[in-house]
C-alpha cells in the first residue's frame, strides 16, 4: 500500500495561508533577520527529516519512519505558523516545501519498493476472459493500479503546482466535488474498457481520468454544444482521423473502448509534437493542435504558463489544462486533500435476459442493489453504449454489467414483482403524451395536413437526408418539437440505425 501523509500535513496549507494573511516577505535587497533565518533553518531540517522517513519506509522500518515523519511534519507546521507572525518571513517558501513533499509522497513507493520497479504485468487492465494467470482488475490494490509515469518521467515531476492548478484543485474539492465523485464512479465501472489502451501506450491512468472528468464526467453519451461527443469528447473530424466513424448508425465516439484508444493515440502524437510537454499537449487537445503549434512556434522553449504562451490561449483552454491536471492529481493523492474515493468493484460481468427488458426497465428492477444509491442507469448505458435505453431487448440478449450485478439480476429481475413494476412504468411512459393543441374550426374543416407527424397534428415534418456522422441525437437537436423517439417512430426505425444517404422525415413545428 502507498505511504499515507499523516493528518498534520493535511493542515499545513492552512498554516501557510495564515502566514500569507498576516506576515510579510523580506523585501528584495534587505537581509533576513536572525529570527527569520532560524525559521528557514527549521524548515530545511523538517524537509530533510521527511526525506529520511521515506528512506526508512523503503527499508521496511515502518514504525521508525512514522515517528520520523511525524516529528518532521510537526516541526514544519510549527515553523510555518511562526513565519506568519514574524516580520520579513516569506510564507511562500513553506508553500514550496509543502508542494515538494507532496511530490515526494506521490504514492510511488509500494510495500518498500518504488512503483517504477513494481511489476505491473498483464493483470493491470486485463480483459474479461483473459485467463493467462492474470489477477482480476478489481482485486489489485489501488496504488498498484495507478501508473504514474509519462515517457519515463514521474507524473508528479511534471506537475506544476502553481496558482491555476491550486485554484482548480479547490474547484474540484468544493463546487465540482459531486461531479468529481460521479466521474470517479463512472470511470471505475468502465475502467476495464478504457485503461488497457492507456497502459499499452505507456500513459498515466491518472491522466486518462483527468481528461474524462473534465470532458464528460464519464457520461458516454455526452454531447457538447459544439458537437464534441463521447466520454472523451471528440469532434467528428478529429475522431474520424483516429478511427471513430459512424458504423451502422452508431457513432463510435460513444464507445468507451474505441474512444480511449483514439485518445491515447492523439495524446501520444501530440506529446511527440510538443517534446513531451504535457500542458501543451492538453492545450492542443482542447483548443486545436494547429493553433497550439503556431503559438508554441512563436516562443520556442517557453512553458505553457509563460505569459507569451498563456496570454494567447482562450479562456476555455486556460481553464481546461489546470482542471485536467488537478483531477489527475486528486486521482493519485486523494488522501492528501481530505478526499476519500468510494470503493468501487468494476469487474466485468454479463447477464443473459430471461425476459424482454430495456435498460430503463433493468434500472427500475435493480433498484439500489449493491449499495448504489443513485441507481444503475448510467452504468448500464455506459457499458452498453450501442443500445437505446428505451428499446426492449429480447430474451437471450447478452448485456454487459458489473459482475456484482449478476446475482442481483437473477434475484430481482428474472421473476417476481420488480420486473412487472418496471414493465408497467415503462409502458405507461410510452402511451402518455401531452394533448395536441386545440384545433381551429378551419383546421377541422380542412382535415389533417398530409405532412403531419403520426404523433401530433400540431407539428409537420420535412425530408432530411442522412449525412456521414449523423445520429438520431444530432438530428433531433435540429427539431424544436420532437425527440429521438419521435423521429424513430415516424420513420419506423428499429434500434435507431441510420445509413448515409437515407431519407427520413423530421418533425418541424408550425
Q: What is the 3-state secondary structure (H, E, C) of 378-399?
A: HHHHHHCCCCCCCCCECCCCEE
Mean pLDDT of 443-452: 40
| Residue 324 scores a pLDDT above 70 | yes
Summarize the confidence of residues 53-77 as an average pLDDT.
Answer: 83
Name which residue leads in pLDDT, 272 or 131.
272
Q: How confident is the model at residue 81 (pLDDT cuts 50, 70, 90)?
A: confident
Q: Looking at the predicted structure, is the pLDDT value of residue 265 above 90?
A: yes
Q: What is the pLDDT of residue 269?
A: 94
**Whole-number Å distance between alpha carbons of 210 and 61:** 34
HSE-CB of 84 using CA atoms within 13 angstroms: 17
- Residue 108 above 80 pLDDT? no
| Lookup: cell for 508 | 418541424
In this prediction, residues 312-334 reach a mean pLDDT of 94
Question: How high is the pLDDT of residue 99?
Answer: 63
CA-based nearest residue to 347, from 126, 30, 42? 126
> pTM score > 0.85 for this model?
no
User: Which one of 134-148, 340-354, 443-457 scores highest in mean pLDDT?
Assistant: 340-354
The SS3 of residue 460 is: strand
Residues 6+ apart with CB under 8 A from 427: none
pLDDT of residue 5: 41
Could you give the percent of the chain with pLDDT greater than 90?
Answer: 45
Is-contact 201 263, C-beta < 8 A?
Answer: no
In whole numbers, what is the pLDDT of the chain averaged over residues? 79
Which pLDDT score, from 0 to 100, does residue 209 have? Answer: 97
> Does the structure show a pLDDT above 50 at 445?
no
Compare 72 and 143 and report the one with higher pLDDT.
72
Within 10 Å of residue 108's Cβ, how many Cβ atoms? 23
pLDDT of residue 152: 65
pLDDT greater at residue 419 or residue 6? 419
Q: Which domains does the chain have, with CATH numbers?
A: 1-110 (no CATH), 142-344 (1.10.530.10), 348-431 (no CATH), 450-509 (3.10.350.10)
Q: Would you state the pLDDT for residue 137?
A: 37
User: pLDDT tens digits for 54-63?
Assistant: 778 777 777 8
pLDDT at 481: 63
Q: Which of 120-124, 236-240, 298-302 has the highest mean pLDDT?
A: 236-240
What confidence score (pLDDT) does residue 172 get?
A: 97
- Helix, strand, coil shares, percent, the chain, to 5: 55, 10, 40
Give the per-residue pLDDT at 408. Answer: 95
> Which value, to the nearest 10 degrees, does the dihedral of the CA atoms of residues 251, 253, 258, 264 take?
160
Residue 369: pLDDT over 90: yes
Q: What gap in Å lies between CA 262 and CA 198, rounded to an integer?
A: 10
Residues 6+ apart with CB under 8 A from 111: 1
Q: Does the pLDDT of residue 470 top 90, yes or no?
A: no
Amino acid at each position: 500500500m502507498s505511504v499515507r501523509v499523516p493528518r498534520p500535513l493535511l493542515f499545513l496549507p492552512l498554516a501557510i495561508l495564515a502566514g500569507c494573511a498576516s506576515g510579510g516577505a523580506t523585501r528584495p535587497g534587505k537581509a533576513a533577520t536572525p529570527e527569520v533565518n532560524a525559521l528557514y533553518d527549521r524548515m530545511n531540517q523538517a524537509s530533510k527529516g521527511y526525506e529520511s522517513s521515506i528512506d526508512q519506509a523503503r527499508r521496511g522500518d515502518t514504525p521508525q519512519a512514522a515517528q520520523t515523519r511525524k516529528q518532521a511534519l510537526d516541526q514544519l507546521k510549527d515553523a510555518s505558523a511562526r513565519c506568519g507572525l514574524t516580520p520579513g518571513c516569506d510564507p511562500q517558501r513553506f508553500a514550496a516545501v509543502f508542494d515538494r513533499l507532496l511530490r515526494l509522497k506521490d504514492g510511488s513507493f509500494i510495500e518498500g519498493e518504488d512503483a517504477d520497479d513494481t511489476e505491473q504485468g498483464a493483470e493491470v487492465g486485463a480483459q474479461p476472459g483473459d485467463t493467462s494467470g492474470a489477477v482480476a482488475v478489481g482485486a489489485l490494490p489501488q496504488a498498484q493500479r495507478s501508473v504514474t509515469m509519462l515517457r519515463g518521467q514521474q507524473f508528479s515531476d511534471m506537475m506544476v503546482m502553481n496558482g491555476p492548478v491550486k485554484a482548480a484543485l479547490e474547484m474540484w474539492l468544493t463546487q465540482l466535488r459531486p461531479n468529481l465523485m460521479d466521474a470517479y464512479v463512472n470511470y471505475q465501472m468502465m475502467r476495464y474498457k478504457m485503461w488497457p489502451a492507456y497502459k499499452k501506450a505507456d500513459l498515466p491512468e491518472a491522466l486518462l481520468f483527468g481528461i474524462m472528468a473534465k470532458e464528460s464526467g464519464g457520461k458516454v453519451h455526452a454531447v457538447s454544444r459544439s458537437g464534441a461527443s463521447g466520454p472523451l469528447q471528440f469532434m467528428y473530424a478529429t475522431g474520424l482521423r483516429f478511427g471513430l466513424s459512424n458504423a451502422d448508425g452508431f457513432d463510435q465516439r460513444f464507445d468507451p473502448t474505441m474512444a480511449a484508444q483514439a485518445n491515447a493515440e492523439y495524446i501520444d502524437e501530440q506529446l511527440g509534437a510538443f517534446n513531451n510537454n504535457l500542458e501543451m499537449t492538453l492545450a492542443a487537445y482542447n483548443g486545436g493542435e494547429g493553433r497550439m503549434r503556431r503559438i508554441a512556434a512563436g516562443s520556442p522553449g517557453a512553458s505553457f504558463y509563460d505569459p507569451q504562451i498563456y496570454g494567447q490561449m482562450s479562456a476555455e483552454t486556460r481553464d481546461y489544462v489546470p482542471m485536467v491536471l488537478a483531477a489527475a492529481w486528486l486521482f493519485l493523492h486523494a488522501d492528501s486533500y481530505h478526499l476519500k474515493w468510494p470503493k468501487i468493484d468494476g469487474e466485468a460481468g454479463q447477464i443473459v435476459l430471461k425476459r424482454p427488458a430495456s435498460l430503463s426497465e433493468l434500472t427500475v428492477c435493480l433498484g439500489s442493489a449493491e449499495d448504489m444509491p443513485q441507481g444503475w442507469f448510467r452504468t448500464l448505458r455506459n457499458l452498453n453504449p450501442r443500445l437505446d435505453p428505451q428499446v426492449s431487448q429480447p430474451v437471450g440478449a447478452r448485456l454487459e454489467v458489473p459482475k456484482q450485478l449478476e446475482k442481483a439480476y437473477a434475484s430481482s429481475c428474472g421473476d417476481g414483482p420488480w420486473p412487472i413494476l418496471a414493465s408497467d412504468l415503462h409502458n405507461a411512459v410510452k402511451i402518455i403524451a401531452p394533448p395536441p393543441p386545440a384545433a381551429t374550426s378551419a383546421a377541422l374543416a380542412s382535415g389533417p395536413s398530409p405532412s403531419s407527424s403520426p404523433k401530433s397534428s400540431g407539428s409537420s415534418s420535412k425530408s432530411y437526408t442522412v449525412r456521414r456522422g449523423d445520429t438520431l441525437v444530432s438530428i433531433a437537436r435540429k427539431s424544436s418539437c420532437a425527440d429521438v423517439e419521435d423521429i424513430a417512430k415516424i420513420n419506423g426505425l428499429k434500434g435507431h440505425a441510420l445509413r448515409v444517404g437515407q431519407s427520413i422525415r423530421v418533425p418541424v413545428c408550425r
